[in-house]
Chain A
Amino acid sequence: MLKQLYYIVPAMFCCYLKATAQLTTPDTASRESLEEVVVTATRTPRTVNNVPVPVTVIGQNRIERIGALRLNEVLMEQVGLQIITDHGTGIQLQGLSADYILILIDGEPVIGRTAGTLDLTRLAVGNIQRIEIVKGPSSSLYGSEAMGGVINIITKKMPSALTGQVRARARRYNTVDLTAEAGKQNNNWGWYLFANRLSTDGYYTTDSISKAIPAYAALTLNPKLHFKLSRSVELTLNTRFYIEEQKNNQGVQETTGLHMLKERSRNTDINISPVLTFKPSDQYRLQVRNYITAYRTKTTIDYQPENKLYDESFFRQLFNRSEVQYDHTFSGVHTGTLGIGNIIETVEATRYDDGNKLSQQYIFGQHQWMPSKQFNMVAGFRYDRHNQYSDRFSPKLALRWNINSKVSVQASAGGGYKAPDFRQLLLNFTNPLAGYSVFGTSVVAAGIARLQQEGQLSSIYVEPAAIQNIKAERSVAFNVSVRYDLFKNVNAQLNLFRNNINDLIDTRPIALKTNGQNVFSYFNYNKVFTQGLEFQASYSLPFGLQLSAAYQYLDAKDVTVWDNVKAGTVYYRDQATNVDKKVKRRNYGGLYNRSKHSGNIKLLYDNNRYDFNVSLRGIYRGKFGFGGDVNSNAILDDPAEYADGYTVWNLSAQKFIKKITIEAGVNNLFRATSTYDAGLAGRQWYVGAAFRFVKSDRRYINQQATNNNL
């Protein structure tokens, strides 16, 4: 709703949102999606038709019209993105799981992962101006976790007139979402404030004691400040505060029978990001950023009804990143970028030793060459040095060729990596019941020495000295994309991708204890690949209708298993006869939780005469392996090891009456269900209303959806 004022926003605001010629001139072409400026692909502002990697942009209007409350609800409607609920609501992209997807807010990473999953329900969407999605590795710019892709949330800019909005939405499961926002850009300074409270009872997907999505209440605050210190120097301060209280029930089977447990957890999340930009001319830009973020969780589990403590755990992470980036444009066709940074991270948790300090230094460089409108090329690298694991070099090369006005080709090759997680580095855990021990690679030497001293070891299989050189998990990936604008109102895009991922980290026994149990640590040994194609087409029909369809084919396999299947050394047990048989190639289904086929179809209708819109979206997820094993070989090969596919239909509508918006809709219209998908709630209606105020007589313009990603 603030968007109508964007073009008069003073030249520069956000860290990456450097003013460019495209932005400063009143941008009548902004309705043309191809002129949209994106920042994620190159860490410099570029129009979307001028970057060599495909960038999907989801605009604010799209987020609002589907009635989304949290980021997962926006992303679930995108092709190639699959919501997976596993220790939180995470995202899978090109077949890579949540561990390998970097989530950024205005270019700064969101921290606080549980078992690799960054819970997307922590991220409110009301302060989002647009979401940029870059598929394929971007570790050459962003470092760890940018292996499968980068999802960058760009928050709203400050409007030049005092503008604000309040919005309330109610949904099934007693879900209430309240939002208020306001902002103003003055001559020399500006402010923006966003506040949101979401509460829900959560829901069950199966007949169980625990809810699939727990009851929770969360508060988000996002204050921002902007100062223009001189003609060429600006300072912005972007902050975010988040607090969430969750509760759920659990059952535990003990010798005395089944006990009920009550679980309560509190998550807090703080992000503070000051950015100083020095930009004396269009040729140079120097940015100094210091991002500090903290994530904390505390979980208490009590026996019910006696309220006696069952378990208590905590996790505290602090992340500080200082970074300098310099961009230099010369001869009009070259842009060089050089950046250096330092990261200090501390982590404390129930199963870690105290005083864990991780430090990392990095340098990245990028050269963009744009000799003509037809052709451009980007080459970049990043070198990361870490005090806990081996150094890492991540290159990337990407090019774009606009063959003619209708056809363009993008191709890229790059390296991605993911740092070993805290558990893999720092875990120091001995199971009190079973008696086995697990050590992270940074603490294994001390752990083994201690056990040896205490006489608890009977033999050592692997010398601890050999374990400390753990490497980051790494990938090499190739992406090719062809876009074809058949007519003005019809376009299609085809992407092909392949990710080769090496050095996946897993546990292995390293020593034997005198109690007969093993000591485990972490090693790089597994390899997987994912490959596939993605096809999207959209068609702007007359009468304000827009139709689009998208499809992804995905093939994701464990390389070792696949090689063994091909060599005929993988067996399954025929349960009827208890005889082992060889697994046939066509029966190996690859990695769990990947759907070979997925896609969506969307029909949008905009009525400008009566100021309303309706959107109907169908999101298909094909059958997927849910992780069960029925034939004793621990791989996905039996039809009974797959969960059925399903289609979720979501319907939503908005009506604009002057300054008021009324909205209503139904999510999961036909009650698709899956035992193996906790994110799939029952049919959920919602209603909402918003009121906006603008301290000027500027008439509200109902903007059409301007983005091309459907």
Chain B
Amino acid sequence: MRKLSIWIAASLLITAGACKKDDDSTPAPLEAKTVNDINGNAADNGGFSMYFNLTTGAIVPASDSNSTKWDIAFRATTIKVNSGKSGPGTAAAQVVSKGFDDLLEAPADGYATDGDAFAIPTGANNGWYTYTGAAASGPQHAILPIAGKTIVVKTANGKYAKVQILSYYKGNPNTSTADFADLTKRPLGGYYTIRYMIQADGSRKLQ
């Protein structure tokens, strides 16, 4: 799977590069990729976050955490970008209030790096998720992605990508079922399923 992703990314790079050389008016549509169950539980990762490279679509080992080999990292409900306090890179990000499929171009500005505050705001209702607490309806004490929020990342190597968090639970479960509502049967949390798209040619076009 990981190898395949690399090959896809590599071929995309080649195609994109080829397009640019020949004719940049009709770029091939980018492909949205889904990665399942990225484990952001530090306890499972030797106390580290789970690092991810958007260009290769691959997990980056924790030994490379102090490099620019990764773009974003997951740790519980926090999503870091490789910059500032989080890493040596220059990656930046912002949360845009637009659906993943409707966000066709990355914003020109508004990106932040990880300083005292994370570029992707932490906490319920601040960034990408809501916490249901003792909700009167629906599943209680669940971390659910806010509908219509797309994370736009300017990667460590200057490429634009958009990321949608599909699920925070292992196996991307249906959150309306009785099993999900039952805290004893709910799949483990901290497992991200993400959908993302990266523009390799350096432009802001994301379609």
Contacts and interface: CB of A to CB of B under 8 A. Distances in A.
Interface of A: 458-459, 512, 514, 516, 568-573, 575-580, 582, 626-634, 640-641, 675-676
Nearest to A457: B116
A578 B175 contact: yes
Given A514-B116, A628-B137, A578 B148 contact: no
B116 to A, nearest CB: 4
B97 A569 contact: yes
B116 A458 contact: yes
A571 B136 contact: no
B176 interface: yes
29 contacts: A458-B115, A458-B116, A459-B115, A512-B117, A516-B117, A568-B102, A569-B98, A570-B148, A573-B144, A573-B147, A575-B174, A576-B174, A576-B176, A578-B166, A578-B174, A578-B175, A578-B193, A579-B166, A580-B101, A580-B147, A580-B164, A626-B137, A628-B135, A631-B147, A632-B130, A634-B130, A634-B146, A641-B137, A676-B136
Interface in B123-164: 125, 130, 132, 135-138, 144-148, 164
A611 to B, nearest CB: 49
B56 interface: no
A283 to B, nearest CB: 60
Q: Which of A514, A516, A569, A630 has the most CB of B within 10 A?
A: A630
Interface residues of B, number: 30
B176 A580 contact: no
Q: Which of B98, B125, B176 has the most CB of A within 10 A?
A: B176
A571 B144 CA distance: 14
Given A516-B122, A579-B166, A630-B138, 15 more contacts: A458-B117, A512-B116, A512-B117, A569-B99, A572-B147, A576-B176, A578-B166, A578-B174, A580-B101, A580-B164, A582-B99, A629-B138, A631-B147, A632-B145, A676-B136
Contacts of A458: 115-117
A512 B148 CA distance: 26
A516 B148 contact: no
Contacts of B138: 628-630, 640
Contacts of B97: 569
A568 B103 CA distance: 12
Nearest to B135: A628
* SS of A interface (majority): loop
Contacts of B147: 571-573, 580, 631-633
Contacts of B122: 516
B172 interface: yes
Nearest to A517: B123
A568 B99 CA distance: 10
A514 B85 CA distance: 13
A575 B172 CA distance: 10
Contacts of A627: 136
A627 B136 CA distance: 8
Contacts of A633: 146-148
B89 to A, nearest CB: 20
B167 interface: yes
A580 B151 CA distance: 14
- The 5 A-B pairs with the shortest beta carbon distances in the complex, nearest first, are A571-B148, A628-B137, A575-B176, A630-B138, A458-B116
A513 to B, nearest CB: 8
Contacts, number: 79
B100 interface: yes
Contacts of B146: 632-634
A631 B132 CA distance: 11
Interface of B: 97-102, 115-117, 122, 125, 130, 132, 135-138, 144-148, 164, 166-167, 172, 174-176, 193
A580 B148 contact: yes
B181 to A, nearest CB: 11
A267 to B, nearest CB: 27
Contacts of B102: 568-569
Nearest to A582: B99
A421 B166 CA distance: 40
Nearest to B173: A578
A640 B136 CA distance: 11
B174 A629 contact: no
A634 to B, nearest CB: 7
A142 B12 CA distance: 69
B148 A629 contact: no
A250 to B, nearest CB: 13
Contacts of B144: 573, 632
A607 B121 CA distance: 69
B167 A578 contact: yes
B185 to A, nearest CB: 16
B165 to A, nearest CB: 9
Nearest to A640: B137
Contacts of A641: 137
A514 B117 CA distance: 9
Contacts of A512: 116-117
A632 B97 CA distance: 13
Contacts of A632: 130, 144-147
A640 B138 CA distance: 8
Nearest to A676: B136
Given A628-B138, A630-B138, A580 B130 contact: no
Q: Which of B115, B122, B137, B146 has the most CB of A within 10 A?
A: B137
A242 to B, nearest CB: 33
Nearest to A630: B138
A575 B180 CA distance: 11
A675 to B, nearest CB: 8
B148 A575 contact: no
B117 A630 contact: no
B44 to A, nearest CB: 22
Q: Which of B125, B145, B147, B174 has the most CB of A within 10 A?
A: B147
A201 to B, nearest CB: 25
Given A628-B135, A632-B145, A632-B146, A516 B116 contact: yes
A630 B135 CA distance: 9
B206 to A, nearest CB: 15
Contact of A569 (B117, B148, B167, B174): B148
A312 B146 CA distance: 36
A649 B137 CA distance: 28
A630 B138 CA distance: 5
Nearest to B139: A630
A570 B122 CA distance: 22
